[in-house]
Chains A and B, each alone.
Chain A
Amino acid sequence: MSAVMITRKVRKWEKLPGKNTFCCDGRVMMARQKGVFYLTLFLIVGTCSLFFAFECPYLAVHLSPAIPVFAVFLFFFVIAMLLRTSFSDPGVLPRALPEEATFIEMEIEAANGNVPAGQRPPPRIRNVQINNQIVKLKYCYTCKIFRPPRASHCSICDNCVDRFDHHCPWVGNCVGKRNYRYFYLFTMTLSLLTIYIFTFNIVHVVMREYPVLVCFFTLWSVVGLTGFHTYLISLNQTTNEDIKGSWSGKNRVQNPYSHKNIIKNCCEVLCGPTYPSVLDRRGLTKEELSASASNSSNPTPQTMNTSSREEQPPASKGPPLASPDTDAETALAKDKTH
């Protein structure tokens, strides 16, 4: 009776929790719902195709060939930024491994002391001081970590994302630390492209009295969005913080991340370092499938995951891992909604 060990190499992205979809063997990472992203692509490519097909020949001949050439460059830049935003890792924080989760649980238990039976334990919050401002770090029950400042959990992708801005269905991905500048460049260049096409539509109409398709409403929404993000960048804020009113100024709370200088803020967001992905998507795990080669009646294949990171132990010792139900703050929040 001999056991045959077959080692099949599996990439780490196949084992990642969360609701992302991966393509090209882990090189591409997107949210699950991609319908609106395809619509975005279709709208951009469709409008530009119409422009190139119907207007550029006339404009190239009667005005200048530089007009369509510049439009082509702008179009490729927009598509490149869109794909970069949609396909890259927004800054997902990997979930805590069991030992780290247990370590944090024990620290929380030590900090809370003895909670009398029947009483809910206090909310899991860690206070840190950043540039003389107290910032509360919340505990994420899904990822089992205290979220770093400015990180937030995206319920659509089921991941904690660093410097979380928002989840954008138009690009089919979250917008976070790693892809915010590509998102901003996408909206800015798309605004430029839309204004460019719109302008030359008008010129063409004036010159030839030719009926054209004008994306008027798209123009204003994209330009508006670009303006909004320019405002956020100048203040070094995220959409998430703006919506929640984290640094709105009440209770003398100020944004500790702002350099108090518009140019410095813009430079940090747009020209800052290119952060690496901490999700090792293309690393290898090892799955060993052992099948007994004997003539036993029920060969039960046992899958034993021995990856470079340790997997869930069968019975972890330590305090039972709490859930939002046992936490005072989230329980109060739940009561309010009912």
Chain B
Amino acid sequence: MEFPPGTLYKYIAVSNLTVCVCVCLIPPQFHNLQELRHSASLANKVFIQRDYSEGTTCKFQTKFHSELDSRIERSLFEDTVKTLNNFYAEAEKIGGQSYLEGCLACATAYLIFLCMETRYEKVLKKISKYIKEQNEKIYAPRGLLITDPIERGMRVIEISIYEDRGSSGSSSGSSSVSGSTAR
């Protein structure tokens, strides 16, 4: 079978273009947090705001931002935020245990906190472990990274979106911020 001379080159060009486009559309695959940090560059950040509908207790909105649409399934994201909200609700619960802790601490002029950890601090440690585990299992393989809200004054959950440095794709989102971390 013979092709006209130019067809083969056109075929190669089109197939290369298709491959390039496909590479751009596939989000980067990272296998772990280390790989993410070494081979990716920060493209964008999304900030999940606080939900004040129930008062001043710590609770985050489960609204799904459009920038995350192509990166992670809505259900996974909502699960993470709901679990975090449950942790914070547990920490701030006003009930028998918090009264006991408060009264005992008051009786000792709050000196007991020099040797004992408060309930809130214990829950914060659980939260930190949970976020680390979520990052390793779910978010890092998708090129995302959650920052613990305590590092942002418990105002926002910061989700960093990474792009693979090696890919030829452009960075996602029109509002790319120039604050890239130097690693």
Q: Tell me which residues across on chain A come within 8 A of B93, comparing CB atoms.
A: 273
Is A103 a contact partner of B110 (Cβ separation < 8 A)? no
Verify if B92 is at the interface (C-beta below 8 Å from A).
yes
Is A274 a contact partner of B52 (Cβ separation < 8 A)? no
* Residue from A80, A267, A280, A317 in contact with B109 in the complex, judged by beta carbons closer than 8 Å: A80
Verify if B121 is at the interface (C-beta below 8 Å from A).
yes
Which residue of chain A has the shortest Cβ distance to B147 in the bound complex?
A: A309
Verify if B118 is at the interface (C-beta below 8 Å from A).
yes
Kindly identify, within residues 159 to 183 of chain B, every residue whose CB is under 8 Å from any CB belonging to chain A: 175-179, 181-182
- Determine which residue in A137, A257, A271, A316 has the highest number of CB atoms from chain B within 10 A of its CB, and name it: A271
Is A273 a contact partner of B99 (Cβ separation < 8 A)? no
Report which B residues bind A (CB closer than 8 A): 45-47, 50, 52-56, 91-94, 98-99, 101-103, 105-106, 109-111, 113, 118-121, 124, 150-156, 158, 175-179, 181-182
Is B52 a contact partner of A81 (Cβ separation < 8 A)? no
Q: Tell me which residues across on chain A come within 8 A of B121, comparing CB atoms.
A: 276
Is B56 a contact partner of A148 (Cβ separation < 8 A)? yes
Which residue of chain B has the shortest Cβ distance to A79 in the bound complex?
A: B109
Q: Taking the nearest CB of chain B, how far is it from the CB of A44, in angstroms?
A: 15
Kindly identify, within residues 152 to 170 of chain A, every residue whose CB is under 8 Å from any CB belonging to chain B: 163
In whole angstroms, what is the CA distance A313 to B150 when docked? 23
Is B102 a contact partner of A272 (Cβ separation < 8 A)? yes
Is B52 a contact partner of A313 (Cβ separation < 8 A)? no
* Residue from B52, B102, B103, B153 in contact with A128 in the complex, judged by beta carbons closer than 8 Å: B52
In whole angstroms, what is the CA distance A100 to B50 when docked? 13
Which residue of chain B has the shortest Cβ distance to A100 in the bound complex?
A: B47
Is B94 a contact partner of A103 (Cβ separation < 8 A)? no
Q: Tell me which residues across on chain B come within 8 A of A306, comparing CB atoms.
A: 181-182
Q: Tell me which residues across on chain B come within 8 A of A310, comparing CB atoms.
A: 179, 181
* Residue from A77, A272, A278 in contact with B150 in the complex, judged by beta carbons closer than 8 Å: A278
Q: A99-B177, A279-B153 are in contact. List 17 more A-B contacts (CB 8 A).
A: A93-B153, A94-B152, A99-B45, A99-B158, A102-B175, A130-B54, A130-B56, A150-B56, A273-B91, A273-B118, A273-B120, A310-B181, A313-B177, A315-B178, A316-B178, A317-B178, A318-B177
* Residue from B54, B94, B110, B119 in contact with A271 in the complex, judged by beta carbons closer than 8 Å: B94
Question: Given A103-B47, A272-B98, A257–B55 Cβ distance below 8 Å?
Answer: yes
Question: Given A268-B94, A274-B120, A145–B155 Cβ distance below 8 Å?
Answer: yes
Question: Given A94-B153, A130-B53, A77–B109 Cβ distance below 8 Å?
Answer: yes
Q: Tell me which residues across on chain A come within 8 A of B92, comparing CB atoms.
A: 272-273
In whole angstroms, what is the CA distance A103 to B182 when docked? 21
Q: Taking the nearest CB of chain A, how far is it from the CB of B42, in angstroms?
A: 9
Q: Tell me which residues across on chain A come within 8 A of B158, comparing CB atoms.
A: 99-100
Q: Tell me which residues across on chain B come within 8 A of A280, comparing CB atoms.
A: 151
22 contacts between A and B (CB under 8 A): A81-B109, A97-B152, A99-B177, A100-B47, A103-B175, A130-B56, A148-B50, A149-B56, A163-B56, A185-B106, A257-B55, A267-B99, A268-B94, A273-B91, A273-B92, A274-B119, A278-B150, A278-B153, A306-B182, A310-B179, A310-B181, A318-B177
* Residue from A145, A182, A271 in contact with B99 in the complex, judged by beta carbons closer than 8 Å: A271
Q: Tell me which residues across on chain A come within 8 A of B52, comparing CB atoms.
A: 128, 130, 135, 137, 148-149
Which residue of chain B has the shortest Cβ distance to A309 in the bound complex?
A: B151
Q: Taking the nearest CB of chain B, how far is it from the CB of A254, in angstroms?
A: 13
Q: Tell me which residues across on chain A come within 8 A of B176, comparing CB atoms.
A: 317
* Residue from B53, B56, B113, B181 in contact with A274 in the complex, judged by beta carbons closer than 8 Å: B113
In whole angstroms, what is the CA distance A149 to B52 when docked? 8
Is B98 a contact partner of A131 (Cβ separation < 8 A)? no
In whole angstroms, what is the CA distance A150 to B156 when docked? 17
In whole angstroms, what is the CA distance A165 to B46 when docked? 32
Verify if A270 is at the interface (C-beta below 8 Å from B).
yes
In whole angstroms, what is the CA distance A273 to B102 when docked? 8
Is B124 a contact partner of A276 (Cβ separation < 8 A)? yes
In whole angstroms, what is the CA distance A273 to B121 when docked? 10
Verify if A210 is at the interface (C-beta below 8 Å from B).
no
Q: Taking the nearest CB of chain B, how far is it from the CB of A84, in angstroms?
A: 6
Q: Tell me which residues across on chain A come within 8 A of B119, comparing CB atoms.
A: 273-274
In whole angstroms, what is the CA distance A129 to B118 when docked? 31
In whole angstroms, what is the CA distance A267 to B100 when docked? 11
